[in-house]
Amino acid sequence: MRSSKKKLGARAPLNEKTIVIAGASSGIGRAAALAFAGHGCSLILLARRSQVLAELAAECLEAGARQALAVQADVTKPETLDNAVRIALESTGKIDIWINNAGSGAVGTFEEIPLHVHHKVIETNLNGYINGTYSVLPLFKQQGYGTLINTISVGAFAPEPYVVAYSASKYGLRGFSEALRCELLHWPDIHVCDVFPAYIDTPGFQHAANYTGKRLKLVPPVFRAKRVAKAMVRLARHPKDAVNVGETAGVYKAANALAPALFRRVVTGIMDNYFSRAKPATIGSGHLFQSGEKGTGVSGGWLPEKRPMRGSLLFTAGVAALATGLFLFQKR
């Protein structure tokens, strides 16, 4: 009986699945919630901002969700994640997919960013994912199936200057997932899926701590959060270990692997050049320690409504050419 239930749960159609999304209130998490809602899923939405979550839950129901519950939670507080598991079980009797997505960042030179701020970034981005997994994995084993989706970053393969703690957390997450897969070799219906987005149009910089004294801006090309959400829906249907989102994700990974010293000089030069010209901005910890009212949408406003700017496409082509050049240089 249990074996048949396990097989049924693992192979259930998407509209019968229960999905928990940590970090659902904005950006990629919000895009994922709306994408799964459109497929008729049951949703448990987690974030610190209860009012924003309540509004999102209503929006998800309008979009077609079978059920959408807003649960206030902080990924740095494991008891709130245990509570989310309890609520999911009480409302739907299972959890099919758990998405670790909450994230934060602090921008500035390593020594200018206060040490406790570095620690908070690690606590949210790395420990938060460990906490979420720790809460749901026993249930997955009890069920005999389940899919864990981790939103990581191309920054798990390519270093990013002036966000050292963020970079450390993303490299750490990649190791966390790979080691966890080793432990789950005897659980073929429990999957750990990593998503490695390139630079995505989200309100992330509206939330980030900023110790540069300069206005923060994403390096183009920038891709839409809906692309990441679509990748998550595909993983929910057909789990796999890792997917890249955005054409430049693979290019950055390859460039750093082929010529790391040159890659470091290029990316640091780009950032230094930007900060030398950027407009002034207030120094502060952003939403790192407590949630705020800014940045509640899917988009951060970096892209036009319709198609990416031509300049972004040209930049993508330029990065691809750089990677090809680095490859040829290594072969000499």
User: Where are the chain's structural domains?
Assistant: 2-331
pTM for this prediction: 0.90
Catalytic residues: 166
User: Residue 176 and residue 256: Cα distance in Å, rounded?
Assistant: 21
Residue 303 pLDDT greater than 80, yes or no = yes
Query: Mean of the pLDDT values across residues 283-290?
Result: 89
Residue with tokens 């030179």: 109
Q: Of all residues in the chain, what percent carry a pLDDT higher than 70?
A: 89
Q: Of all residues in the chain, what percent carry a pLDDT higher than 90?
A: 80
CB atoms under 10 Å from CB of 80, counted, come to: 18
Over residues 122-148, the pLDDT tens digits come to 999 999 999 999 999 999 999 999 999
- CATH entry, 2-331, from 3.30.750.24, 3.40.50.9100, 3.40.50.280, 3.40.50.720: 3.40.50.720
Rounded to whole angstroms, what are the CA distances from 6 to 27, 62, 291? 33, 31, 39
How long, in residues, is the chain? Answer: 332
Residue 309 pLDDT greater than 50, yes or no = no
Residue 314 pLDDT greater than 50, yes or no = no
Give buried/exposed letters for 310-319 (b at 16+ CB in 10 A, else e).
eebeebbeeb
Question: Helix %, strand %, coil % for the chain, to 5?
Answer: 50, 15, 35
CB atoms under 10 Å from CB of 56, counted, come to: 26
User: What are the residues whose beta carbons fall under 8 Å from the beta carbon of 141, sequence distance 6 or more?
Assistant: 187, 190
Query: Mean of the pLDDT values across residues 154-174?
Result: 97
Residue 156 pLDDT greater than 60, yes or no = yes
Query: Mean of the pLDDT values across residues 156-175?
Result: 97
Strands 223-224 vs 200-201: parallel, antiparallel or unpaired: parallel
Over residues 40-53, the pLDDT tens digits come to 999 999 999 999 99
What pLDDT, on a 0 to 100 scale, did the predictor assign at position 329? 41
What pLDDT, on a 0 to 100 scale, did the predictor assign at position 65? 98
Residue 324 pLDDT greater than 50, yes or no = no
What pLDDT, on a 0 to 100 scale, did the predictor assign at position 8? 65
Query: Mean of the pLDDT values across residues 32-40?
Result: 98
